[in-house]
Amino acid sequence: MGVVFFLTLVMVGKTGAQFDADASLLCARGVAAADLRAPSAAIARVKAERQARARAEKKIDAALRILGVSEEEQGSAAKAETNSIEYGSDGSVELELKLSTKDLHLSHPGPNR
């Protein structure tokens, strides 16, 4: 069982997401630069946050496919919650999303499931 868990971590790592099987938690970071044409950093931040979230969700979706989530559960990344968020003074955004995998049916669930 430990070998499957190790292989799952390696494969998910290539997506840019991190999977903690013990905590049933999948995390991914997203980063986006500010729009230089925006009139202020606050306005640029809105678009940057949306782009950063989309990038993190894309990483989570890729990790879920590798972990073997069923077709019906493929859109689960949209349910991910913001774990942390950092705003740059120029309007750039870096955030981390987390998704609980407790209710998902994974074909590579790790050693404790």
What letter represents residue 6's amino acid? F
* pLDDT tens column, 96-110: 999 998 888 777 655
pLDDT at 2: 47
pLDDT grade, residue 7 (50/70/90)?
very low
d(CA 106, CA 8) in angstroms, rounded, equals 11
* pLDDT tens column, 59-94: 999 988 888 887 777 778 888 999 999 999 999 999
Q: How far is CA 66 from CA 12, 17, 32, 34, 96, in A?
A: 7, 11, 25, 31, 20
- b/e code 80-112 from CB counts within 10 Å (16+ = b): beeeeeebbeebbbbbbbbbebeebebebbbee
- Beta bridge pairs of residue 98: 27, 81
User: Structural domains in the chain?
Assistant: 24-100 (3.30.1660)
pLDDT at 19: 87
- In this predicted structure, the answer to whether residue 52 has a pLDDT above a threshold of 60 is yes
- In this predicted structure, the answer to whether residue 11 has a pLDDT above a threshold of 70 is no
